């Protein structure tokens, strides 16, 4: 199976309510909350494209764009 | 009138008329004295490809017909007092969401379980004020089978024209009584079909934007236009809003679309009014006795007249005032402690002329009952 | 295709609290519908009243936001009238099983094809945290300040006893399972019930010291097991997830079609 590589995290900043679910459950600690309590990719290099943050986001604010490598 | 002659119960007349009007969907729950409507519907609807549902209660019955109507079918439910009480919240939902439907209340004695097998007319005010919040409502009634047929068809016409629930306030006597009725030929009574939107797929459709005449073309749920329906105050797309302008606009529209068109929904009969010094104002089963008395006493030279109301809400106050203008005595004949009399008093000049002739013991008021009251009024003693 | 193709974007951000599990259900539901390749015009969503009921306003389907507890009754009218439509009925636990309990039982008994999703957060959220029929014994709520003495329902057992032909449970932690079960429930030809344990950090979490949203989801992860798991024998308090019932029985609308076929008068 082809490995997936991150292109970008698209985060709707006005939709994110800063609940921290994505941050808490990210297996690689890619995401963090910024000073406005909004999710952002603090360590995108570590992303393994599992997209669990996207699926668990209750605000539908995250889209993880990946590409096959 | 051409057509098939039948000798049937009023409840069955209501069924025949609803089918004549194009009814395709009925949901109900057994309750005396309306049950025969559900029974007849369960037999007749599948025969024409329609659908009958026996639900778990009256609440779900009215909810089911509202859902069915939204998908484009003419729909009705039937019940009696206790069931009508249960339906009040959903009735308000139909008002707010402007979904056409017909609700039959075959009235029995109340309050509470009351007198299940006996007649009453105690739900007149409930029909008007039963659901919470300001709203306009249409409620019709009839005293004989032929009128019951026509009024039932009219209920569907009004529901479709004005996108509103319409209440048919029948009663145990008219519902259970058997008499002759002529089922009109197709086309003899004109039918109003649902006004559907001409907006095409992909073009912005506004389900809650009234036309200039107050009517709102509908799009069948499940069709090409996806929109929202809610009991909350809503904008022209049907989405919730508490913007004061939108709230004001909607409540005004809901009131005006009925109140500005009362001419299209006012039905009544008047007999011997011209020279009447006593006018009986009555409706439903009670009007049968009132009519009998008027016909009988006219032969003996008594100047009695009858105004039989078939529209109870919106109350035809103008008609009542005009008809009763020259009467010395106005006697409201009804089977409750005085519900329509209040409206009559509000409508006429010199309300001190208005009296009540009623029975509240589960029995139909008789011509003699009314006559005795008239004799007392006229100072003749019984 | 993305999630945004299925939502009414202009109403976002949505009105749910930070961390509310209902958004996770919405998220999974959209992916389930997307995977089925259904046209948005074929789907009708009918909801009642409460936080959960607001889900219908956010999806770009035919949406009907009705009155408290009666969503299934409205949905029954729609489905009977137009059996070709896919009817999804998301409900809260109070909406479905307190005020709407009777309709829930009877919709299950009829086996009418629709998908009932019970978003069980064990509390009335919209009105500010009163106990629900799923709060359970000893739970704290704004109307149970001394601890709840009401016992909760088991939604899965209740649904099965009432006659539902598809019954499943999952949580907002198990998002792949959630999306798959919504899909299976929609595909099922009969009345399907999916209970989703969904966190209300604002009221249930706060009153019951259950932590914030991630912590409540950790509990779903740690205190649930797949149905039939050995672990349940060792720890009976674990909550089972998965499909409890899946059987084929005559579906209500199809049965009624037969009644029509048999009795419809020949057009003359």
Chain C interface, best mutation among B58, B228, B242, by max C CB count within 10 A: B228
**Which residue in the set B56, B63, B239 is minimally distant from C77, CB to CB?**
B63
Q: Is residue B382 part of a domain?
A: no
Which helix (H) or strand (E) element contains residue C242? strand C239-246
Question: Quick one: B337 and B225 in the same domain?
Answer: no
In the block, tokens 């002739």 appear at: B357
Q: Does B233 touch chain C (CB under 8 A)?
A: no
Dist CA C161 CA C154 (whole Å): 11
With a cut of 50, say whether residue C110 has pLDDT above it: yes
The residues spanned by each domain of chain A are 4-68
Nearest chain B residue to C55, by CA: B228
B258 and B284 in a single domain? The answer is no
CA distance A16 to chain C (A): 8
The whole-number average pLDDT for the span B170-176 is 98
Q: Are residues B276 and B304 in the same domain?
A: yes
pLDDT single digits (tens) C40-67: 999 999 999 999 999 999 999 999 999 9
- Residues B226, B341, single domain; the answer is no
Give the list of residues 6+ apart from residue B37 with CB closer than 8 angstroms, or none: B11, B12, B14, B15, B28, B78, B104, B106
Q: For C57, name the nearest residue in chain B, comparing CA atoms only.
A: B228
What number of other Cβ atoms are within 10 A of residue C32's Cβ?
22
- pLDDT value at residue C268: 47
Q: Do the Cβ atoms of B226 and C61 come within 8 Å?
A: yes
The answer to whether residues B248 and B274 belong to one domain is no
Same domain, B217 and B278: no
Domain topology for C3-263: Rossmann fold (3.40.50)
Q: In this structure, what CATH number is given to the domain that contains residue B361?
A: 3.40.50.920
Q: Is C14 on the interface with A (CB under 8 A)?
A: yes
Do B152 and B22 belong to one domain?
yes
Report CB contact under 8 Å: B226, C78: no
The distance of C160 to chain A (nearest Cα, Å) reads 29
**Which of C39, C62, C84, C91 to mutate: most B Cβ within 10 Å?**
C62
Chain A positions touching C6 (Cβ under 8 A) are none
Same domain, B220 and B327: no
Distance of CA B359 to the CA centre of its chain: 22
What is the rounded CA–CA span in Å between residue A64 and residue A26?
13
Residues B320 and B351 in one domain: yes
Q: How many domains does chain B have?
A: 2
Of B213, B244, B265, the domain-final residue: B265
**Which residue of chain C comes nearest to A58, CA vs CA?**
C23
CB pair distance less than 8 Å for C63 and B226 = yes
Nearest Cα residue in chain C from A26:
C214
* B78 found inside a domain: yes
Instruction: Retrieve residue B13's tokens.
Output: 């007349």
Residue C1 predicted with pLDDT over 60: no
DSSP assignment of B26-45 equals EEE---TTTHHHHHHHHHHH
pLDDT tens, position by position, B276-330: 999 999 999 999 999 999 999 999 999 999 999 999 999 999 999 999 999 999 9
- What CATH number has the domain spanning A4-68? 3.30.70.20
Residue A58 confidence (pLDDT):
98
The reply to whether C60 touches chain A by the CB within 8 Å rule is no
Domain extents in chain C: 3-263
Residue of chain A whose alpha carbon sits nearest to that of C28: A55
pLDDT bin (cut points 50, 70, 90) of residue B160 is very high
* CA-based radius of gyration for chain C: 18
Long-range contacts of C121-124 (CB under 8 A, 24+ apart): C121/C21, C121/C22, C121/C51, C121/C52, C121/C92, C121/C93, C121/C197, C121/C198, C121/C199, C121/C200, C121/C204, C122/C93, C122/C152, C122/C200, C122/C204, C123/C200, C123/C203, C123/C204, C123/C207, C124/C50, C124/C92, C124/C94, C124/C203
Structure-token pair, residue A40: 């952002």
Q: Are B59 and C73 inside 8 Å of each other by CB?
A: yes
Q: Are residues B259 and B277 in the same domain?
A: no
Q: Dump pLDDT digits (tens) for C23-37.
A: 999 999 999 999 999
User: Could you tell me the pLDDT band of residue A3, with boundaries at 50, 70 and 90?
Assistant: confident
Question: So what's the pLDDT on residue A1?
Answer: 57
A and B adjacent (3 or more CB pairs under 8 angstroms): no
Q: Count CB pairs under 8 A between chains A and C.
A: 75
pLDDT tops 90 at residue C267: no
- Model pLDDT for residues B37-74, shown as the tens digit of each residue: 999 999 999 999 999 999 999 999 999 999 999 999 99
Q: What is the complex's ipTM, to 2 decimals?
A: 0.97
Whether B274 and B332 map to the same domain: the answer is yes
Domain housing B363: 268-377
Q: Which of B233, B265, B297 delimits the end of a domain?
A: B265
């Amino acid at each position: 199976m082809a490995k997936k590589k991150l292109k970008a995290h698209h985060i709707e900043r006005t939709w994110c309510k800063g609940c921290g679910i994505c941050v808490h459950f990210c297996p690689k600690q890619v995401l963090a909350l910024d000073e406005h309590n909004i999710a952002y990719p603090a360590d995108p290099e570590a992303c393994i494209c599992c997209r669990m943050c996207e699926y668990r986001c209750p605000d539908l604010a995250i889209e993880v764009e990946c590409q096959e490598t | 009138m051409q057509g098939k002659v039948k000798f049937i119960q009023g409840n069955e007349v209501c069924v025949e008329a609803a089918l004549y009007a194009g009814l395709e969907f009925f949901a109900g729950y057994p309750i005396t004295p309306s049950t025969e409507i559900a029974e007849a519907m369960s037999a007749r609807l599948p025969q024409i490809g329609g659908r009958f549902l026996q639900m778990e209660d009256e609440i779900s019955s009215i909810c089911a017909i509202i859902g069915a109507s939204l998908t484009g079918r003419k729909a009705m439910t039937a019940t009696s007092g206790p069931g009508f009480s249960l339906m009040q919240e959903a009735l308000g939902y139909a008002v707010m969401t402007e979904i056409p439907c017909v609700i039959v209340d075959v009235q029995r004695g109340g309050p509470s379980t009351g007198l299940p097998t006996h007649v009453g007319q105690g739900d007149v005010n409930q029909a008007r004020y039963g659901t919470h919040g300001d709203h306009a409502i249409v409620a019709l009634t009839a005293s004989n089978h032929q009128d019951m047929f026509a009024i039932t068809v009219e209920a569907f016409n009004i529901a479709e024209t004005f996108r509103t629930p319409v209440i048919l306030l029948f009663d145990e006597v008219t519902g259970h009584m058997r008499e002759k009725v002529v089922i009109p030929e197709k086309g003899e009574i004109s039918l109003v079909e649902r006004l559907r939107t001409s907006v095409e797929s992909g073009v912005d459709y506004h389900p809650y934007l009234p036309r200039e005449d107050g009517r709102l073309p509908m799009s069948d749920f499940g069709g090409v236009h996806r929109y929202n329906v809610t009991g909350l105050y809503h904008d022209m797309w049907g989405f919730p809003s508490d913007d004061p302008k939108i709230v004001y606009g909607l409540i005004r529209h809901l009131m005006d679309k009925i109140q500005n068109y009362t001419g299209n929904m006012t039905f009544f009969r008047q007999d011997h009014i011209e020279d009447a010094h006593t006018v009986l104002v009555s409706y439903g089963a009670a009007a049968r006795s009132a009519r009998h008395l008027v016909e009988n006493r006219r032969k003996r030279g008594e100047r009695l007249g009858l105004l039989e109301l078939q529209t109870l809400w919106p109350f035809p106050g103008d008609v009542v005032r005009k008809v009763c203008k020259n009467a010395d005595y106005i006697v409201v004949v009804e089977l409750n402690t005085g519900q329509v009399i209040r409206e009559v008093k509000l409508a006429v000049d010199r309300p001190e002329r208005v009296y009540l002739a009623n029975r509240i013991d589960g029995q139909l008021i008789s011509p003699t009952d009314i006559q005795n009251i008239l004799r007392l009024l006229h100072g003749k003693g019984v | 295709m993305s999630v945004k193709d299925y939502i009414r974007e202009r109403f976002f951000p949505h009105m749910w609290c930070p961390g509310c599990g209902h958004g996770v259900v919405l998220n999974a539901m959209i992916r389930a519908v997307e995977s089925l390749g259904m046209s948005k015009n074929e789907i009708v969503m009918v909801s009642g009243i409460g936080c959960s009921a607001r889900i219908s306003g956010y999806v770009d389907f035919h949406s009907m936001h009705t009155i408290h507890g009666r969503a299934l009754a409205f949905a029954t009218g729609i489905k009977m009238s137009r059996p070709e439509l896919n009817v999804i009925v998301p409900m809260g636990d109070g909406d479905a099983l307190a005020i709407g309990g009777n309709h829930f039982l009877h919709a299950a008994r009829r086996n009418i094809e629709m998908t009932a999703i019970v978003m069980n957060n064990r509390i009335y959220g919209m009105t500010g945290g009163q106990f629900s029929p799923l709060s359970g014994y000893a739970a704290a709520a704004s109307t149970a300040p001394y601890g709840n003495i009401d016992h909760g329902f088991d939604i899965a057992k209740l649904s099965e006893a009432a006659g539902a032909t598809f019954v499943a449970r999952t949580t907002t932690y198990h998002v792949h399972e959630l999306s798959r079960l919504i899909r299976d429930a929609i595909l099922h030809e009969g009345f399907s019930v999916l209970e989703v344990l969904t966190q209300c950090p604002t009221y249930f979490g706060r009153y019951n010291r259950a932590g914030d949203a991630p912590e409540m989801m950790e509990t779903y992860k740690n205190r649930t097991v797949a149905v039939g798991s050995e672990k349940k024998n060792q720890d009976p308090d674990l909550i089972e997830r998965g499909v409890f019932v899946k059987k084929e029985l005559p579906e209500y609308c199809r049965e009624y079609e037969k009644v029509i076929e048999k009795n419809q008068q020949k057009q003359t």
